Amino acid sequence: MNNKSWVGGANSPDTEFPIQNLPYGVFSQAGAEARCGVAIGDFVADLAVLERAGLIEISGFAAPVLNPFMARGSVAWAAMRARLTALFAEGGDAALRDDSELRAAVLISRAEVQMHMPFAVAGYTDFYAGRHHAENVGTMFRGAENALPPNWLSIPIGYNGRASTVVVSGTPIRRPLGQIKPPEAELPMFSPTKRLDIELEFGAVLGQGSEMGVPLTVAEADELIFGYVLLNDWSARDIQAWEYQPLGPFQAKVFASSISPWVVTKAALEPFRVSAPKRARPLLPYLREPGPMLYDIQLEVRMRAAGQGHDTVISRTNTRELYYSAAQQLTHHAIGGCKMSVGDLLGSGTISGPEKASRGSLLELTWGGKEPLMLDGGVERRFIEDGDTLTLSGFAQGEGYRIGFGECVGTILPAPALRPEWAE
């Protein structure tokens, strides 16, 4: 099959959505119901229209979530990918290409659509699988001698986050209120967070579930993954520092996590698999990877201060900096008998590289606020202020094409007003 497409914009070397990508999302136009689509070139292909026209055999795309399609499993995923490739390829099936009326109904300019949450999040688990991040944060919170907890090199550590507050890119993020305890204070105070931060993460989306009480191998876990999104796990560092021991983050992370709007399939990322870094300590056999389980995906974080007209790149890193893959995280998640569900989202944990400019959070980039960032135009930032906008982006670079995710954007709104009855 030809790797070129007749769809406008799909053959541009810097498009995020060439025919090799075909990521799934949920979109709407003004006045119309949300439904499933695939990004290609400058367009969204409306899968509900393709389904009604009888050009695809798999059904369920009129739904406002991808869960019904994901639940059909890997045979359906592969069949759908093959069919879409045939419909969009130069020299492929002419049924759509040569029908101008249908083409106009199916292909909608991406500039005209609003994106929605692509799937109903069944559960959200956040891991801590980036070693540079764990060492940086551990050094700041507990000192260099205790930077990595004793279990870190053996276990992909995680905690159960909140599925209810996972939102799609573009959703404004409200600064949270909570308990904070400045280092010099004896007791905590109630306040809007003063240390609002991002976490640059890679999110795995499960398209299949597992049975309660039934463990998974790493290879089996990988089979359950439908695709990946970029994930910004917004964090309130002052709330986190006070609350996180012994059970991990609670209020510091529950207020919002943003995801990019397109779920990039595991199939599209297959050519970009890379091996995990050298193991500092042998893993127990149940966690050993049967082959390359990480991906080579270049990541970027941009920041725009309130009132500024343009972004400044504040970090560049790569998903290959992770120590544990999503399949390993999932294996560990299920090994004790936890049931996994269609629509579960697994966050990788912050992806930082070894260099300062490759750190995936402001906490690390400014070393706890001690070394402020200078944005273009001379604006200084330690943490995020109201009105600031943060954008994550990323792509895997192939030969002459790239597999992108679409941006993951969020702008910060002021905290809720403090109520008189909360005054001390």
Q: Does position 233 bind Ca ion by CB under 5 A?
A: yes
Which DSSP string do the residues of 154-222 spell out, in sequence order? TS--EEEE-GGGEEETT--EEPPEEEE--TT-SS-EEEE-S-EE--EEEEEEESS---TT----HHHHH
Nearest CB to Ca ion, comparing residues 199 and 321: 199
Q: Which stretch, 230-238, 262-270, 274-282, 332-340, contacts Ca ion (CB under 5 A)?
A: 230-238
52: number of Cβ within 10 Å: 15
Nearest CB to Ca ion, comparing residues 51 and 126: 126
What mask of x and - would describe binding to Ca ion in positions 174 to 213, judged by CB under 5 A? -------------------------x--------------
Distance in Å, CB of 133 to Ca ion, minimum? 9
How far is 140 from 143, CA to CA, in rounded Å? 6
Q: Does position 388 bind Ca ion by CB under 5 A?
A: no
Distance in Å, CB of 244 to Ca ion, minimum? 12
What mask of x and - would describe binding to Ca ion in positions 267 to 286, judged by CB under 5 A? --------------------
Distance in Å, CB of 349 to Ca ion, minimum? 5
List 116, 132, 133, 332, catalytic entry: 133
Distance in Å, CB of 161 to Ca ion, minimum? 8
Nearest CB to Ca ion, comparing residues 89 and 200: 200
Sheet harboring 24-28: ordered strands across?
Answer: 107-109, 43-46, 35-40, 24-28, 114-116
Nearest CB to Ca ion, comparing residues 233 and 289: 233
Instruction: Please report, as residue ranges, which positions from 80 to 139 form the binding site for Ca ion (by CB under 5 A).
Output: 126
Using DSSP bridges, classify how beta strands 225-232 and 200-206 pair: parallel, antiparallel or unpaired: antiparallel
What does R_g of the chain's alpha carbons equal in angstroms? 22
133 assigned to active site? yes
Residues 58-84 as b or e (16 or more Cβ within 10 Å = b):
bebbbbbbbbbbbbbeeebbeebeebb
Q: Does position 16 bind Ca ion by CB under 5 A?
A: no
Q: How buried is 335 (Cβ within 10 angstroms: 0-12 exposed, 13-18 middle, 19+ buried)?
A: middle
Nearest CB to Ca ion, comparing residues 233 and 243: 233
Using DSSP bridges, classify how beta strands 235-236 and 273-274 pair: parallel, antiparallel or unpaired: unpaired
Distance in Å, CB of 157 to Ca ion, minimum? 11
Active-site residues, by number, are 133
Binding site for Ca ion (CB under 5 A): 126, 199, 233
